[in-house]
């Protein structure tokens, strides 16, 4: 305890007693949920790989495609846990560094999708009328095209590359948020406390920022967590097809795309990046499921 | 005395809940004689519905946990019969209708489909040549709907539950329950969810069918007037126990248990000034940790000192109904 | 029912128009030069200019859209650079393969997913339920293309049970074309060896394609089933003496299948997107493979055409599911 905290009576703990109690309840619900804890565990490992990656990997220079032909296509061993690829780079190193790329992809894609989708959803739900009609119809059309196909089309126009792949995925991803937030806003708009706020003369913006946005937070967090995984999967799919990150960029999908040419004899080359995608997506999904159980129990599929 | 059709003996049942063991029923004793009807009254949460649900094995276990007792139907213990026998009894020996007609019909099947299905299921134990085929079952369903005075049964039978009003749905449920010609009908608050005018119609219907079909009925309600109108005997339940049990005349004119007295005082009566109305102060005891002595002790105006520590036993006063109360064991001196 | 059919039809036509606008925007209003895009990477300046006037890229945007839309309606999807055919002809040639794979795959997902969901719900918390749930949780995260590779590796190469790719062996003549679906055509022409061979070839790709959808169908059907089994009407059905099997298999299933149906509609999109991945893993000569080859060769018009076709297919599938929903749930009809 620091001195400033002691002089500050009643302490932080007392002033936030109810928040702490709620957090404790959430924590306990979450801890009792086995699969959510598994998800949290996987994501923790993933984040550790992101944070410590360059310092813990055995061959940092291999991340960007250093060439060491003497060591090419070595099976997994003590010095190369996941084996080596066709130019002799350490697959383990590249998979660990790939976590950074994936996190970046997940954050950017879901970030942009939220940035476009959430305001549109709130506007649609709150303003209503033809504005809502217009926004929702456009959203519906986007939602009724298979996402990956649309992303391929957009990536095809923009040309291959990790940046374009992220842009394409973001352009495909936002409608989901519009749908989610519009529905939530509609139900909140009719809620008692919004009526009360309106009756005491609160302005529209104030209602949006004080009453609606904070209440949309739970579903956004839950969907955001799941979408992190799905965006990583989407980017890996584009990478695999050759429309996303280009080798030797350490992106998991792109690694598999090269590695498949070396099947079946050099199976480790595509096996380990695939496991990485699988576990990461699984982790984010389980985490999202667990978060939904505590934050938004009624919002199941 | 006539041999009872259904007899519940020393029935104890707990619910294992998150917060601990909930002592829902504590030594319930009841019986219904063929052709008679029994009313069970008491406030919400006193265990009325729980008592009868397991007659047809309808309480999911867990959480329900039968501690002791038996439910004898013609000498057979329904708590211990196998799945197959229970299925045979359901609908064709004992039938049940429920509180909320809105939720007890399956929304995605038509009335006819559901009734025919029930009729087909109820005749499984009959010899093959006596069974109805689908068309006959449908005719029978229409006849049953007619019997419960559903207008236009030939048309209504093909409609879906959401197209009918609450009162009509309850009629359908009654027709469905009685289509297997059961001997005993258990009606679990059949009118609570309905409009007042409809309530009367449904009760008249039940009374009429009881007469017509020679049914025995167990009617669960919190409306004492309904019991007075339809039933021969009445059991008053409080906090998982039957506190008073006897003929309707005895219980309503000479109530023994202070709880029954309280209940009767809380009925509005056109002849008496509204000031004479009174409720019973206090709340039901928490059955996660039931009181040591009498369960009504906290709210009882006539409580004695011994009521705090010693649970009362059933006593049978000379005149009137039997009661679970120390006051009468005192009188007769057989505590 | 009829009014609902009409309503949904109008709605779907609107959506198709919207889809057309999207592909138009992507192909005509891109930051780069749409004419250069259409001409392909190796085109000379003259070729680009020729395409520009030929296809009206120099006209106002609105006019361009009408030209584009009428072109599409007449089946003019442009020309593929890498196959040198009309895109329309290519699509017609490749569509049956994709259709066969997707339909086969969704059938597996439904026919396995619904019973497994029911079994999982009925045996709640038993080891069977736990195994099913673990497999399902993992299923959603499995990258289809990687799963496909691993299936090839294990069942194709290691065990040698299944062929690695294609619709038939290289030396086999396809059955006479009636529907273009090898399984059906082989049956219709009573060509059983080819039927078995086609079946043999389709299993691995279909499994890879359906797995994520299968997992999510099981999950949702399990949850819905559990919810339905606690409903009052189930208690009533039991009180009527109806057998447990019938209650689960008929009464509860029909109620819980409705939300599952809605989910199947959604997941169908995963599968249509997934064909692109799975077809390129298994060398399945369908629209997906065609699209990928076109996209990586900067051959732009086939990609747009595939987007249109797969998008329209997805919309049509959901239209059918809407109708099915209305037919199964009488409450929907009333609301319209």
Structural contact between residues B169 and B159, judged by C-beta atoms closer than 8 angstroms: no
Closest Cβ opposite residue A282 in set C141, C281, C303 = C141
**Which pLDDT score, from 0 to 100, does residue B68 have?**
87
DSSP per position, B197-227: HHHHHHHHHHHHHHHHHT-EEEEE-S-HHHH
B98 at interface of C, judged by CB pairs closer than 8 A? yes
Q: C2-28 and A147-158 are packed helices; what angle lies between their axes, rounded to 10 degrees?
A: 20
Sheet holding B20-33: strands in order across?
B20-33, B4-17, B64-73, B76-77
**Which pLDDT score, from 0 to 100, does residue A9 have?**
61
Asked if the structure places residue B289 within a domain, the reply is yes
Query: Of C58, C61, C62, which Cα lies nearest the Cα of C48?
Result: C58
- pLDDT averaged over every residue in chain B: 84
B85 at interface of C, judged by CB pairs closer than 8 A? no
**Which pLDDT score, from 0 to 100, does residue B318 have?**
64
**Which pLDDT score, from 0 to 100, does residue B218 have?**
92
B4 at interface of C, judged by CB pairs closer than 8 A? no
| pLDDT tier for residue B335 given thresholds of 50, 70 and 90 | very low
Structural contact between residues A42 and A288, judged by C-beta atoms closer than 8 angstroms: no
> Mind listing the domains of chain A with CATH numbers?
15-300 (1.10.3720.10)
Asked if the structure places residue B252 within a domain, the reply is yes
C240 at interface of B, judged by CB pairs closer than 8 A? yes
**Which pLDDT score, from 0 to 100, does residue A300 have?**
46
**Cα-flanking dihedrals φ and ψ of residue A285, to 5°?**
-65, -45
CB-CB neighbors (< 8 A) of B180 in chain C: 240-241
Query: Of C90, C109, C152, which Cα lies nearest the Cα of C283?
Result: C152
Q: Verify whether the Cβ–Cβ distance C330 to B107 is below 8 Å.
A: yes
Q: Verify whether the Cβ–Cβ distance C240 to B56 is below 8 Å.
A: no
Asked if the structure places residue B71 within a domain, the reply is yes
**Which pLDDT score, from 0 to 100, does residue B332 have?**
47
Q: Verify whether the Cβ–Cβ distance A278 to C142 is below 8 Å.
A: yes
Q: Verify whether the Cβ–Cβ distance A149 to C310 is below 8 Å.
A: yes
Residue of A nearest to C308 (CA): A145
Distance from CA of C212 to the nearest CA of A (A): 12
C235 at interface of B, judged by CB pairs closer than 8 A? yes
Q: Verify whether the Cβ–Cβ distance C22 to A142 is below 8 Å.
A: yes
Interface probe, candidates C232, C236, C335, chain B, greatest B C-beta count within 10 A: C236
Q: By CB neighbour count within 10 A (0-12 exposed, 13-18 middle, 19+ buried), where does A171 fall?
A: buried
Q: Verify whether the Cβ–Cβ distance A146 to C14 is below 8 Å.
A: no
pLDDT of C92 above 50:
yes
Q: Verify whether the Cβ–Cβ distance B108 to C242 is below 8 Å.
A: no
Asked if the structure places residue B54 within a domain, the reply is yes
Q: Which residues constitute the domain of residue B270?
A: 1-82+186-191+216-294
**What is the Cβ-side half-sphere exposure of residue A219, based on CA atoms within 13 angstroms?**
21
Average pLDDT in the C133-138 region? 84
Tally of domains within chain B: 1
- CA dist C80 to A234, B59, B135, C31, C288, Å? 26, 67, 63, 22, 15
What separation, in Å, do the N-terminal and C-terminal C-alpha atoms of chain A show?
A: 45
> Mind listing the domains of chain C with CATH numbers?
2-73 (no CATH), 95-335 (1.10.3720.10)
**Which pLDDT score, from 0 to 100, does residue B334 have?**
43
DSSP per position, B63-116: TEEEEEEEEEETTEETTS--HHHHHHHHHHTEEEE-S-TTTSS-TTS-HHHHHH
Q: Verify whether the Cβ–Cβ distance B88 to C258 is below 8 Å.
A: no
Which residue would you say has higher pLDDT here, B32 or A196?
A: B32
C241 at interface of B, judged by CB pairs closer than 8 A? yes
Mind listing the pLDDT tens digit for each residue in B102-152?
Answer: 889 998 899 999 999 999 888 877 788 888 888 899 999 999 998 888 888
**Which pLDDT score, from 0 to 100, does residue A2 have?**
46
Residue of A nearest to C29 (CA): A157
pLDDT of B330 above 70:
no
pLDDT mean by block of 10 residues, chain A; 301 residues: 51 77 78 80 89 80 74 78 79 86 91 93 88 90 88 86 90 91 84 70 76 83 89 91 86 88 82 91 88 67 41
Average pLDDT in the C266-283 region? 90
Average pLDDT in the B201-222 region? 87
Distance from CA of B89 to the nearest CA of C (A): 7
Give the Cβ contact number of residue A20 at 10 Å.
Answer: 13
B96 at interface of C, judged by CB pairs closer than 8 A? yes
The partner residues of B15 in beta bridges, in order of sequence, read B22, B64
Residue of B nearest to C327 (CA): B108
Q: CATH number for the domain including B284?
A: 3.40.50.300
Mind listing the pLDDT tens digit for each residue in B171-184?
Answer: 899 999 888 888 89
Q: By CB neighbour count within 10 A (0-12 exposed, 13-18 middle, 19+ buried), where does B319 fall?
A: exposed
Interface probe, candidates A148, A245, A287, chain C, greatest C C-beta count within 10 A: A148
B160 at interface of C, judged by CB pairs closer than 8 A? yes
Structural contact between residues C236 and B105, judged by C-beta atoms closer than 8 angstroms: yes
Asked if the structure places residue B161 within a domain, the reply is no
Residue of C nearest to A279 (CA): C141
Which residue would you say has higher pLDDT here, B186 or A57?
A: B186
Structural contact between residues B335 and B329, judged by C-beta atoms closer than 8 angstroms: yes
* Other chains touching B, judged by 3 or more CB pairs under 8 Å: C
Closest Cβ opposite residue A147 in set C23, C269, C298 = C269
Interface probe, candidates C91, C144, C145, C275, chain A, greatest A C-beta count within 10 A: C145
Q: Verify whether the Cβ–Cβ distance C243 to B87 is below 8 Å.
A: yes
Q: Tell whether omega for the bond before A74 is within 30 degrees of 0, i.e. cis.
A: no
Asked if the structure places residue B233 within a domain, the reply is yes
Instruction: Give the DSSP H or E segment for B31.
Output: strand B20-33
Q: Which two tokens stand for residue A276?
A: 């990485």
Mind listing the pLDDT tens digit for each residue in B262-320?
Answer: 888 877 776 767 666 677 777 778 888 888 888 888 788 877 787 887 788 777 766 66
Closest Cβ opposite residue C239 in set B56, B103, B109 = B56
**Cα-flanking dihedrals φ and ψ of residue B188, to 5°?**
-95, 95
Asked if the structure places residue B285 within a domain, the reply is yes
Q: Verify whether the Cβ–Cβ distance C244 to B83 is below 8 Å.
A: yes
Structural contact between residues B177 and B149, judged by C-beta atoms closer than 8 angstroms: no
pTM listed for this prediction: 0.82
Asked if the structure places residue B165 within a domain, the reply is no
**Which pLDDT score, from 0 to 100, does residue C211 have?**
92
The partner residues of C261 in beta bridges, in order of sequence, read none
Q: Verify whether the Cβ–Cβ distance C298 to A156 is below 8 Å.
A: yes
Distance from CA of B18 to the nearest CA of C (A): 17
Q: What are the b/e assignments for C137-169, b being 16+ CB within 10 Å?
A: bbbbbbbbbbbbbbbbbebbeeeeebbbbebbe
Which residue would you say has higher pLDDT here, C138 or A4?
A: C138
Distance from CA of B83 to the nearest CA of C (A): 9
Dist. CA C320–CA B145, nearest whole Å:
37
Q: Verify whether the Cβ–Cβ distance C241 to B92 is below 8 Å.
A: yes
Q: Verify whether the Cβ–Cβ distance C144 to A237 is below 8 Å.
A: yes
Distance from CA of B302 to the nearest CA of C (A): 41
Distance from CA of A44 to the nearest CA of C (A): 17
Interface probe, candidates C122, C229, C239, chain B, greatest B C-beta count within 10 A: C239
Interface probe, candidates B106, B107, B140, B141, chain C, greatest C C-beta count within 10 A: B106
Average pLDDT in the C58-80 region? 86
């Amino acid at each position: 305890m620091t001195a400033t905290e002691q002089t500050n009576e009643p302490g932080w703990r007392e002033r936030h007693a109810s928040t702490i109690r709620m957090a404790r309840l959430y924590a306990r619900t979450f801890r009792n949920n086995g699969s959510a804890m598994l998800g949290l565990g996987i994501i923790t490992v993933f984040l550790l790989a992101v944070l410590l990656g360059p310092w813990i990997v055995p061959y940092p220079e291999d991340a960007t495609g250093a060439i060491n032909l003497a060591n090419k296509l070595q099976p997994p061993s003590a010095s190369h846990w996941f084996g080596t690829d066709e130019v002799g780079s350490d697959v383990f190193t590249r998979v660990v560094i790939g976590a950074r790329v994936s996190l970046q992809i997940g954050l950017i894609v879901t970030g942009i999708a939220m940035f476009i989708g959430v305001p549109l959803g709130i506007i649609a739900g709150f303003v209503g009328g033809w504005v809502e009609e217009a926004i929702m119809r456009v959203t519906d059309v986007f939602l009724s095209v298979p996402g990956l196909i649309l992303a391929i089309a957009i990536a095809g126009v923009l040309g291959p590359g990790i940046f374009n792949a992220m842009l394409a995925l973001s352009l495909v991803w936002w409608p989901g948020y519009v749908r989610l937030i519009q529905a939530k806003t509609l139900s909140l708009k009719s809620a008692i406390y919004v009526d009360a706020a309106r009756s005491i003369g609160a302005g529209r913006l104030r209602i949006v920022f004080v009453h609606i946005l904070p209440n949309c937070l739970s579903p956004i967090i839950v969907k955001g967590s799941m979408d992190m995984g799905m965006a990583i999967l989407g980017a890996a799919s584009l990478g695999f097809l050759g429309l996303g990150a280009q080798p030797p960029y350490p992106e998991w999908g792109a690694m598999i795309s090269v590695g498949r040419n070396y099947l079946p004899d050099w199976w480790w080359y595509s096996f380990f990046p695939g496991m990485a995608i699988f576990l990461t997506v699984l982790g984010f999904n389980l985490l999202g499921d667990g978060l939904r159980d505590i934050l938004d129990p009624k919002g199941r599929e | 005395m006539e041999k009872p059709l259904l007899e519940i003996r020393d029935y104890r049942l707990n619910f294992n809940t998150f917060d601990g063991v909930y002592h829902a029923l504590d030594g319930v004793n009841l019986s219904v004689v063929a052709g008679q009807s029994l009313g069970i009254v008491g406030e919400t949460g006193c265990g009325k519905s729980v008592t009868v649900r397991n007659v047809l094995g309808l309480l999911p276990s867990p959480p329900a946990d039968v501690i002791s007792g038996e439910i004898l139907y013609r000498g057979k213990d329904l708590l211990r019969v196998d799945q197959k026998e229970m299925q045979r009894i359901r609908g064709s020996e004992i039938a049940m209708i429920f509180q909320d007609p809105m939720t007890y019909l399956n929304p995605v099947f038509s009335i006819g489909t559901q009734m025919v299905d029930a009729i087909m299921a109820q005749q499984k134990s009959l010899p093959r040549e006596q069974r109805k085929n689908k068309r006959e079952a449908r005719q029978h369903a229409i006849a049953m709907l007619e019997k419960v005075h559903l207008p236009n049964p030939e048309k209504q039978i093909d409609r879906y539950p959401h197209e009918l009003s609450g009162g009509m749905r309850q009629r359908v449920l009654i027709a469905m329950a009685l289509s297997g010609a059961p001997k005993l009908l258990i009606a679990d608050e059949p009118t609570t969810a309905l409009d007042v005018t409809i309530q009367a119609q449904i009760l008249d219907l039940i009374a009429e069918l009881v007469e017509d079909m020679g049914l025995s009925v167990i009617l669960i309600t919190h409306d004492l007037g309904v019991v007075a109108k339809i039933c021969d005997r009445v059991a008053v339940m409080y906090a998982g126990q039957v506190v008073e049990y006897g003929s309707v005349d005895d219980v309503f004119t000479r109530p023994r248990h202070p709880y029954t007295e309280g209940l009767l005082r809380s009925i509005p009566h056109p002849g008496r000034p509204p000031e004479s109305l009174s409720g019973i102060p206090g709340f039901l005891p928490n059955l996660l940790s039931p009181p040591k002595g009498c369960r009504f002790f906290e709210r009882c105006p006539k409580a004695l000192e011994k009521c705090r520590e010693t649970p009362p036993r059933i006593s049978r006063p000379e005149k009137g109904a039997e009661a679970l109360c120390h006051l009468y064991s005192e009188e007769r001196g057989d505590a | 029912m009829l009014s609902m059919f009409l309503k949904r039809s109008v709605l779907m036509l609107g959506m198709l128009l919207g889809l057309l606008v999207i592909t138009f925007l992507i192909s005509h209003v891109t930051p780069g030069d749409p004419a250069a895009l259409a001409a392909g990477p190796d085109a000379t300046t003259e070729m680009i200019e020729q395409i520009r006037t030929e296809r009206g890229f120099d006209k106002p945007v609105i006019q361009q859209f009408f030209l584009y839309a009428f072109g599409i309606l007449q089946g003019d999807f442009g020309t593929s650079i890498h196959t040198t055919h009309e895109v329309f002809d290519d699509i017609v040639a490749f569509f049956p393969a994709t259709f066969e794979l997707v339909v086969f795959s969704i059938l597996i997902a439904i026919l396995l997913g619904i019973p497994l969901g029911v079994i999982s719900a009925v045996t709640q918390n038993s080891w069977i339920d736990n195994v099913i749930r673990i497999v399902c949780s993992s299923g959603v995260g499995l990258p289809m293309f990687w799963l496909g590779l691993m299936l090839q590796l294990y069942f194709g190469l290691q065990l040698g049970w299944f062929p690695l790719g294609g619709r038939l062996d290289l030396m086999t003549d396809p059955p006479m074309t009636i529907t273009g679906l090898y399984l059906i055509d082989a049956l219709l022409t009573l060509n059983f060896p080819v039927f078995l061979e086609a079946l043999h070839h389709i299993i691995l790709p279909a499994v890879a394609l359906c797995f994520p959808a299968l997992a999510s169908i099981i999950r949702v059907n399990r949850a819905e089933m559990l919810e339905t089994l606690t409903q009052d009407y189930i208690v009533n059905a039991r009180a009527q003496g109806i057998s447990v099997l019938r209650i689960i298999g008929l009464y509860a299933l029909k109620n819980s299948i409705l939300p599952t149906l809605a989910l199947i509609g959604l997941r169908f999109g995963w599968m249509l997107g997934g064909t692109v991945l799975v077809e390129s893993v298994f060398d399945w000569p369908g629209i997906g493979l065609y699209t990928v080859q076109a996209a990586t060769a900067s051959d732009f018009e086939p990609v747009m055409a595939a987007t249109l076709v797969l998008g329209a297919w997805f919309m049509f599938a959901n239209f059918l599911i809407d109708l099915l929903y209305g037919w199964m749930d009488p409450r929907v009809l009333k609301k319209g």
